[in-house]
Structure 1
Amino acid sequence: MERSDDLLVVYHAFLEQLELEGLACEFLFVFDGGFGPPPPPLVEASREEPRLRILHFDQGLGETAALRVGLDRSRGALIITVPAYFQVRPEGLRDALAALRDGADMVVVRRAPRADPWINRVQTRIFHAVVNTLSHGKFQDIACGLRVMHRRVFENIPLYGDMHRFIPLLATRRGYHVTELPVPQHPRDTHPRVYRPGIYLRRLLDVVALFFISRFTEKPLRFFGLVGTGMLIAGGIINVLLLVERLGGKGIANRPLLVLGVLLISLGVQIIGLGLVGEIIVHLRSPNYRSYRIRETTGP
């Protein structure tokens, strides 16, 4: 944060919206150890305001850990995640709460219309195009940190690593009704964002991980079997062609293709074996695992 009073400004802005809704609330500020201690004005406010609590990690654990500990220490039936700076106008929180009352299990806010530089919008479109293609999602701004959800939803989302970016997609995969609500972008959320190449690579790997867990968690052999079978076929074709050449009198002992063909077949068998091991693990945990979620039961 550029100024130590920014967090207090965010706090009072969203507190005002919750008070207008007539909701009793508490605010938990979770500070990652890698970003230094909480600002003194916020610490002083927490001593005077019983609805404000501060949690500070000893080390840098990331946003996912911060969200998880916030959930564990919170006491409300509704969970609202708020970024450390203004991404959208605070008034949008009341619209999100209304959408939750209308039947949604989770409401995620989308910054619209966007007022930030074109480089931010281009990155967002590319990122969401890849994510939605691989996960069959329809979200346009999963990076926005303002979310409103029932506590049971958050408790049933498997969060680890950097999967906090994909909370709406993970909730959808669990069968929850997730609504994306457009809210005007805040004027202070307009600075350009260009990151190091390593960050883009990590996000790409996270997307690949999301693709795998969203499609093959319960059927790993389909993924590994597809890859392994492709290698087996490619290696088999190469070796058959080499065999035809050998029968025609040509030497193949020193041909790199022979090594490639044998390598592809060997790797294909090993990858299929990994898929079988994964199937065995899924089978062994199946008696205690429930992939379904019962929303409501009526009748005796």
Structure 2
Amino acid sequence: MITSQISTIQNFQSQEEILDVSIVVPIYNEVESLPHLLEYLAQILHENQLSYEIICVDDGSSDGSTELLKHLAQTQENVKAVILRRNYGQTPAMAAGFKCARGRAIVTLDADLQNDPADIPMLLSKLAEGYDLVSGWRQNRQDAALTRLLPSKIANWLIGRVTEVRIHDYGCSLKAYRRELVADLNLYGELHRFLPALAFIEGARIAELPVRHHARRFGKSKYGLGRTFRVLMDLLTIWFMKKFLTRPMHVFGSLGLLLMFVGTVLGGYLTFLKLGLQENIGDRPLLILAVVLLLAGVQFFCFGLLGELLMRTYHESQDRPIYRVREIVENNVKNGK
């Protein structure tokens, strides 16, 4: 488990002061680009007089990135290495980085040098205007048109329609988050690309800014058309969470009642044919359909009840509220003071 892997570094927050920004970089086979990225990041952050840490999460690399990262973390100031036991995927790698982050703001970006660290101060400035998440928008992407750009545009449009969070570029890893927002986000599966939608569910204020995008200098992309199906499945998960996270009975119960109603109507019609008109209904497909609809309706209704019980257990066992308070305003002048 990821939590056991990072258990030795959970004391970062209590041992050291809060920083201006934590940079979280998931890494998978980026041995050539890693030194250039860390050098450029340090330069940009020093120029803007920010207190910072760079948290590099090695996600089971096999090209020498792990050994290089360990060396860099031991020899360079403000660089921390989180080494995962195997390749878990980008979402667990980001979750591990978030767990260790101590910055008031947290910025994520890819390690392949396609995101430009020079855009980080711009994102932080926008975050300071009162937003909880600022997402990068790669207006001029330097990727293959057929295998990367076209699927990305379709996915961004579809995700925006389903989640109602209309941003142009869900796939851009360059994002800035408030610390308190990240604390509320629980990441599973491959939900990293849906972080704006997850943040929206938590009531976050979201902004989007155009950022630079460079052609890949080293290695090859880890993404392809094969992830399309996984994106669609994750999208269904996000849609359900957004609509029915705290009220699963509304979807399962409603569908169950509808199926039971249709099944009952068909059953009543067949009963009339049998008893009223003395017709044979034993060989009618409609009889099988009525029975199936009734059984399916009962099952969906039961799913709704189980979902309600599980949701209450989830929230109550973790003392997790079903709401988020942005701020509390009150008059501090009491008793004439």
Q: Same fold (TM over 0.5)?
A: yes
Equivalenced residue count is 298
Corresponding residue for 1:31?
Answer: 58
Counterpart of 1:134 (choices 158, 162, 176) is 162
Does structure 2 conserve the Cα–Cα contact (< 8 Å) formed by 1:87 and 1:144? no
Which of 285, 303, 318 is 1:274 aligned to? Answer: 303
Residue segments in structure 1 that go unaligned for 5+ positions in a row: none
Task: Give matches, 1:183-262, under 5 Å.
Answer: 183-188=211-216, 194-196=224-226, 199-246=227-274, 247-262=276-291
* Partner SS, residue 78 of structure 1: strand
Give the match's secondary structure for 2:65: coil
How far apart, CA to CA, are the structure 2 residues paired with 1:129 and 1:232?
Answer: 36
- CA separation of 1:293 and 1:33: change in aligned 2, threshold 3 A: same
> Percent same amino acid at aligned positions?
26
| TM-score, normalised via structure 1 length | 0.88
**1:283 offset after TM fit, Å?**
4.8
**What is the rounded CA distance, in whole Å, between the counterparts of 1:108 and 1:102 in structure 2?**
14
Equivalent residue number for residue 116 of structure 1 = 143
Render the CA deviation track for 1:119-143: whole Å, top value 9, x for unaligned: 2222122212222222111122121
CA contact (8 A) 2:134 2:207 kept: yes
CA contact (8 A) 1:100 1:107 kept: yes
Residues 234, 261 of structure 1: 8 Å contact kept: yes
The equivalent residue for 1:178 is: 206
Aligned to 1:143, the other structure's residue is in SS state coil
**Which residue, out of 113, 130, 149, partners 1:86?**
113
Partner of 1:5: 32
Which position in structure 2 is the counterpart of 1:150?
Answer: 178
Change (3 A) 1:148 1:220: same
Instruction: Name the structure 2 match of 1:105.
Output: 132
Q: Is the aligned partner of 1:74 residue 2:101?
A: yes
Contact 1:5/1:42 (<8 A) preserved: no
- Whole-angstrom distance in 2 between the partners of 1:124 and 1:146: 16
In 1, the alpha carbon distance for the partners of 2:123 and 2:192 equals: 19
CA drift at 1:166: 1.1
Provide TM-score, normalisation by structure 2: 0.80
Structure 1: which amino acid aligns with 2:224?
A: V
Matches within 5 A, 1:53-68: 53-68=80-95
Q: How far did 1:83 drift? A: 1.0
Structure 1 contact 117–191 (Cα < 8 Å) conserved:
no
**1:86 alignment partner AA:** L
Deviation per CA, 1:221-253: give whole Å up to 9, x if none.
Answer: 111022212322332343344344434443221
1:166-200 C-alpha deviation (Å, 9 max, x unpaired): 1111111111211111113213289796323xx32
CA displacement 1:193-220 (0-9 Å, x = unmatched)? 6323xx3222211111111111101111
Residue 3 and residue 151 in structure 1: after superposition, are their counterparts in 2 closer, same or farther (change >3 A)?
Answer: closer
SS in 1 for 2:81: strand
Partners of 2:29 and 2:62 within 8 A in 1: no
Give, as a single letter, the amino acid of the residue that structure 2 aligns with 1:297: I
Q: Which range moved further: 145-154 or 13-22?
A: 13-22
How far does residue 254 in structure 1 lie from its aligned partner after superposition? 2.2
Deviation at 1:281, TM superposition (A): 4.1
